Amino acid sequence: MNDLSPLVPWLFVVVGLALAMYTGKLMRGPQGVGGIVTAGVLAAALGIALTFATVWAHSACVTSVHLCVSRGDENMSYWFHSLVAVPAFWLVMLAFPSAEPAPIEDLTEHDSAVVAALEQFRNQERITSHCPSCGATLEVEATPTPQSLSRTTCRCGRCSGTFQLGPQNA
């Protein structure tokens, strides 16, 4: 007689890994300590739920389908694979990269003019960007601070502001 008792719990471990992958994709990686703890709690809940499902499936395999053999208390060893796999579920959830910040798509015409002026300034080109409101050519000046600040100005002030350039842009 065939005994599928050893295979039943591994089916639920594979299902658990698939569910952990799906959860990891939804979470898009840990967002600080809170995300790591949340993934751990979800992995533990998944392991507990799949352990109950394994108990039910193994019992059904023994009593209804008759493809598994009952060994009394020794059957309990077939129940806990999913619970032992909780750390694997957790690592799979954390394996997905964090979500990238959404690209800035709603630039106003003033924002576009400032970005163009800062790009020209960074490339050490003559600044030809104009303010859409007052028509003045934007002026860009770097402030002598360690933060790499640049200031843009125009007559009406709608394109005026102070911007911090990152190390790759300085």
Q: Which residue has the tokens 């007559």?
A: 155
pTM of the model: 0.55
Query: What's the chain's average pLDDT?
Result: 83
pLDDT of amino acid 80: 84
pLDDT of amino acid 100: 61
| Residues 98-157: tens digit of each pLDDT | 666 556 567 788 888 888 888 888 888 889 999 998 988 988 888 776 667 888 888 888
pLDDT of amino acid 21: 92
CB 112 within 8 A of CB 77: no
59 contact partners, CB below 8 Å, separation of at least 6: none
Laid out side by side, the sheet with 139-142 consists of 139-142, 149-153, 161-164
- Cα-Cα end-to-end distance for the chain: 75
Read off the amino acid at residue 116.
A
139 contact partners, CB below 8 Å, separation of at least 6: 127, 152, 153, 154
Other CB atoms within 10 A of residue 41 CB: 10
The confidence band for 169, taking pLDDT boundaries of 50, 70 and 90, is very low
Q: Which residue has the tokens 């533990």?
A: 44
> What integer is the mean pLDDT of 154-165?
84
CB 56 within 8 A of CB 79: no
